[in-house]
Amino acid sequence: MRDGSGTASRGPRGRLITFEGGEGAGKSTQLSLLAKALKKRGVDVVETREPGGSPGAEAIRALLLDPENKGWPAMTEALLHFAARCDHMSRVVEPALASGKWVLCDRFTDSTMAYQGVAQGLGSSVIEQLSALTLKGRKPDLTIVLDLDPEIGLKRISERGDAPTRYDLMDIAFHRRLREAFLMIVRSDPGRCVVVDATYSEDFVAEMVSGAVTSRLEMDLAS
């Protein structure tokens, strides 16, 4: 399609929605439910995750989550996360957004800030610098932070019978710092972030997530 000047015009750019929160908060489940709701509205959706989402990033994910890989400095972890993110962005996220698709991502840069920057003590300035280099200003259009008492989240993981990742095995003090880090991120960027209480039932949480998307991105949903 071309505009009046004869120049090829592009369709509307897609939207990036990220899901954040501590372990066991239900991010993957709520992402899937939102994807189904958006598809019913005719939205072209890509579901992905971090670390991971592309072949190179998935290889790095395996290293990061392996319980055998203990004792890495926070800087090492942060660099691996951003290496995975760089591959994921270039191969999956940016092409999808450019083609008008909506990308729903399970974790993004806020997780690196919370886990390595705050909970592991690397510092926010380091994460901000790495983010600037990797993302070149790209931020999510909306971030859903699923808030949950870490003891409840870890209990949910145990009850599911999933093999614990390296982060699941961190002590409870780490998970409490992690929760506070996510809430700090929300307070620092309330225009982008919405907190949803993940204590409630799966269906009720899904309703709150859908309501947040509708209220924050209503014009886009209606287009």
Tally of CB atoms within 10 A around 176: 15
36 is an annotated ligand-binding site residue? no
Structure tokens at 206: 């899904």
Collapsed DSSP state (helix, strand, coil) of residue 66: coil
22 is an annotated ligand-binding site residue? yes
Structure tokens at 128: 């901000």
54 is an annotated ligand-binding site residue? no
Q: Round to whole Å and give the CA distance between 89 and 114.
A: 20
28 is an annotated ligand-binding site residue? yes
4 is an annotated ligand-binding site residue? no
123 is an annotated ligand-binding site residue? no
Cis peptide before 51 (omega within 30 of 0): yes
53 is an annotated ligand-binding site residue? no
121 is an annotated ligand-binding site residue? no
Collapsed DSSP state (helix, strand, coil) of residue 6: coil
Structure tokens at 89: 């962005």
| Binding-site residue positions | 21-28
The annotation places the binding site for ATP at 21-28
